[in-house]
Amino acid sequence: MLTYGRTECGGAMSTDFSQLIADLRLWNNGDGIDVQGWLSATGDYEHAIAYAELFWPDFVNYDGCIFRIAMDEETYHKWIKVTNGNKTSVEEVVNHIHILDFFPNVKEPPSKEQVRHLGLKLRDMWEAKVKRDFPNRDIIVHFLDSDTDDLVDYQVTVFQRR
């Protein structure tokens, strides 16, 4: 597995955010700023609330399936038909999201390191959430983390092992 933007600190790995957030290096006459300081100076409540919904979604149970979005009966039955009744496949397809889909209107494309960092964090948060919400289910949160230069390939999905 690749490790980007990380440094060793006392035996544990620590993320070098200045490699992931270029703006950090520009603050304080080029001396830089830490992530918390930068968030305090540039963040807002509306973005924080929206990101919280992305990072900690309200997973729903529909017909024994777990979805990160509300599922209506028509759409569900369409996917059940397409997958020949395979509920795991339905979950995997409906729940998947490409990291690049989060920000389709950015001015500068993200780096591979940024996409990977966000995908790995998202996987960990979704995994903690579904394990909390559905502790008795065998739920997999998978981040497709291949060493590819095609950033659209990086995606996260949720499905149950049956």
Per-residue pLDDT tens digits for 42-77: 999 999 999 999 999 999 999 999 999 999 999 999
Is 50 within the bounds of a domain? no
Residues 6+ apart with CB under 8 A from 160: 65, 66, 87, 88, 91, 137, 138, 139, 140
Global pTM? 0.81
Is 49 within the bounds of a domain? no
Predicted pLDDT of residue 124: 97
Please indicate, yes or no, whether residues 156 and 82 belong to a single structural domain of this protein. yes
Please indicate, yes or no, whether residues 20 and 65 belong to a single structural domain of this protein. no
Q: Within 13 Å of residue 87, how many CA atoms lie on the same side as its CB?
A: 11
Is 51 within the bounds of a domain? no
Predicted pLDDT of residue 13: 59
Please indicate, yes or no, whether residues 25 and 71 belong to a single structural domain of this protein. no
Q: How many domains does the structure of the chain reveal?
A: 2
According to DSSP, the β-strands at 65-67 and 6-9 are unpaired
Q: Kindly write down the DSSP assignment for every residue of 47-80, as one continuous string.
A: HHHHHHHHHS---EEETTEEESS---HHHHHHHH
Please indicate, yes or no, whether residues 35 and 68 belong to a single structural domain of this protein. no
Model confidence at 123, in pLDDT bands (50, 70, 90)?
very high
Please indicate, yes or no, whether residues 38 and 60 belong to a single structural domain of this protein. no
The parent domain of residue 19 ranges over: 1-43
Is 35 within the bounds of a domain? yes
**pLDDT tens by residue, 75-104:** 999 999 999 999 999 999 999 999 999 988
Q: Kindly write down the DSSP assignment for every residue of 71-108, as one continuous string.
A: --HHHHHHHHHHTTT-HHHHHHHHH-EEGGGG-TT-SS
